[in-house]
């Protein structure tokens, strides 16, 4: 294998592991910071949703850490235990971020609609492209190799569409938190740090995929 390949592997791993360490570090740091107001993550999410006219959106508790998400199929904001019950900077930031996704869905935010439309294709492509690539190499069928690259490109497109969706949800969260008055200046800075580090994980994933796609195209031409 070429030195370029090993350099690419190292860079992809660095981006992936580095971004995960960054979000966990920011989350754990501000998870220890109890806010002055007696507001939990669930309270913050409920207030933000109700303020936006989304009283019908359900908030539930789920297991795991950083497993928080919004499910547009059931109009449900799912919060991990530490976020649901936590009265910390991290809990408020993450709960409001997921509520931001609910607001995007309700307001018909175009990037979110596009992302939702291509989820099935991206899911199939992400699970299939490696097997198609291996089959193309083993069988020496260049057509299959290019099909694999096209499938991987579909995954990259999904990641790129995800970026504005995540950035917008974080902006909605920041704006609401600032208006709420729950956090002092230092705590608000911590909330922004948590949201910024979470967004970086998506940027790192997209950059890693771009590098990988460029390498695949280069290798296919050779």
What is the sign of the dihedral through the CA atoms of 196, 82, 38 and 107? positive
Give SS3 for 146.
helix
Catalytic residues: 98
Token look-up 């291996």 returns: 134
Instruction: Using alpha carbons, select from 198, 194, 186 the residue that is nearest to residue 86.
Output: 194
Instruction: Using alpha carbons, select from 154, 41, 56, 149 the residue that is nearest to residue 102.
Output: 56
């Amino acid at each position: 294998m070429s030195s370029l390949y090993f350099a690419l592997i190292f860079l992809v791993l660095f981006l992936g592991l580095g971004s995960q360490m960054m979000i966990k570090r920011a989350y754990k740091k501000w998870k220890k910071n109890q806010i002055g107001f007696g507001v939990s993550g669930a309270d913050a999410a409920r207030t933000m949703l109700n303020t936006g006219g989304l009283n019908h959106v359900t908030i539930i508790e789920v297991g795991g850490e950083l497993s928080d998400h919004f499910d547009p199929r059931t109009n449900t904001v799912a919060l991990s235990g530490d976020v649901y019950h936590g009265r910390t900077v991290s809990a408020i930031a993450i709960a409001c971020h997921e509520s931001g996704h609910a607001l995007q869905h309700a307001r018909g935010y175009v990037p979110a609609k596009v992302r939702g439309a291509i989820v099935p294709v991206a899911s199939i492509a992400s699970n299939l492209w490696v097997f198609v690539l291996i089959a193309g190499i083993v069988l020496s069928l260049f057509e299959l190799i290019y099909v694999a690259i096209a499938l991987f490109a579909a995954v990259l497109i999904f990641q790129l569409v995800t970026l504005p969706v995540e950035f917008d949800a974080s902006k909605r969260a920041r704006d609401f938190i600032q208006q709420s008055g729950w956090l002092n200046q230092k705590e608000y800075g911590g909330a922004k740090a948590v949201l910024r580090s979470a967004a970086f994980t998506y940027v790192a994933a997209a950059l890693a995929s771009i590098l990988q796609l460029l390498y695949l195209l280069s290798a296919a031409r050779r």
